[in-house]
């Protein structure tokens, strides 16, 4: 069994993408199934008929390696067996895992191309990052295929990094649909999508889009350094 702090349970091709940080090593892990894009079906991920929630500490039967789909470094194959929830961490516990990289996932664009990712050493093909957002605003964009609305978020970090990206966190979107708006500092899990070319795509390469895959708000009494 491998242990992760769940930081993303987001939409992926009609199922879910689950990802989190191993609290012992501090590295990201994305459990993947044998489905074409590795998405995690309901019968695999539910724990006592409940969805894994952000901040849950999960124990998952995982292999040593997994398919990287040509550009992802964090993927580990799921083995047969039941998932377990063994605890929960407070939001402030995540501050130690926030990224201090120059960019939010490799560049200042909304996407990263597969060819760029493949130009990097395998260990540097990072597709998940935890980002501290001192400013976080949202807007409704359109209706999405799973039902409800499609939402975008704009985040700004203490270092002046910014990103506008589609939100794929279903729990957070349900709150937005009920007119909730984030007011506090948020810890945002940013993930790269599988490659997808919009109809109007005119650039070179196959883009993987940056997604807001999980949102955790910090309590007001937590001191946040830059």
Query: Looking at residue 183, what is its pLDDT?
Result: 84
DSSP symbols for 41-75: -HHHH-BTTB---TTEEEEE-B-S----TTT-SSE
C-alpha atoms less than 13 angstroms from C-alpha of 220 in its C-beta half-sphere? 2
pLDDT of residue 225: 64
According to the model, what pLDDT value does residue 79 have? 97
Summarised one tens digit per residue, pLDDT across range 88-128 is 999 999 999 999 999 999 999 999 999 999 999 999 999 99
pLDDT, average across residues 29-55: 95
* Two tokens, residue 206: 């196959």
pLDDT at 13 over 90: no
CA distances from residue 171 to 15, 64, 80, 160 in whole angstroms, order as listed: 14, 30, 27, 27
Quote the percentage of the chain above a pLDDT of 90.
85
Per-residue confidence band for 142, with pLDDT thresholds at 50, 70 and 90 = confident
pLDDT value of position 68: 95
Q: What is the mean pLDDT of residues 60-65?
A: 97
Whole-prediction pTM value?
0.94
Q: How far is Cα 60 from Cα 80, in angstroms, rounded to an integer?
A: 9
User: Mean pLDDT throughout 143-150?
Assistant: 67
What's the average model confidence in pLDDT over 26-43?
95
Place of tokens 């889009």: 209
Question: What pLDDT is recorded for position 146?
Answer: 55
Q: What is the largest CA-CA distance in the chain?
A: 47
Q: Going by DSSP bridges, is the β-strand pair 162-167/149-156 parallel, antiparallel, or unpaired?
A: antiparallel
Question: Among 8-17, 36-45, 67-76, 143-152, which stretch is predicted with the lowest mean pLDDT?
Answer: 143-152
The overall average pLDDT reported for the chain is 93
**pLDDT tens column, 73-91:** 999 999 999 999 999 999 9
For residues 202-224, give the mean pLDDT: 88
């Amino acid at each position: 069994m491998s242990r992760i702090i769940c930081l993303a349970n987001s939409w992926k091709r009609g199922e879910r993408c689950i990802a989190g940080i191993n609290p012992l090593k501090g590295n990201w892990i994305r459990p993947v199934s044998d489905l074409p894009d590795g998405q995690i079906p309901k019968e695999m991920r539910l724990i006592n008929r409940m969805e894994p929630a952000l901040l849950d500490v999960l124990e998952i039967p995982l292999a040593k390696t997994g398919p990287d789909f040509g550009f992802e470094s964090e993927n580990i194959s799921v083995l047969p067996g039941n998932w377990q929830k063994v605890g929960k961490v407070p939001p402030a516990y995540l501050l130690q895992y926030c990224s201090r990289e120059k960019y939010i996932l490799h560049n200042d664009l909304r996407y990263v191309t597969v060819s760029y990712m493949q130009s990097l050493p395998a260990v540097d093909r990072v597709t998940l990052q935890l980002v501290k957002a001192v400013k976080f605003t949202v807007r409704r964009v359109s209706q999405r295929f799973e039902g409800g609305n499609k939402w975008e978020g704009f985040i700004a970090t203490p270092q002046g990094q910014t990103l506008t990206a589609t939100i794929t966190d279903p729990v957070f979107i349900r709150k937005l649909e009920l007119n909730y708006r984030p007011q506090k500092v948020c810890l945002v899990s940013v993930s790269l999508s599988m490659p997808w070319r919009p109809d109007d795509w005119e650039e070179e390469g196959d883009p993987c889009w940056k997604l807001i895959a999980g949102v955790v708000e910090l309590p007001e009494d937590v001191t946040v350094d830059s």
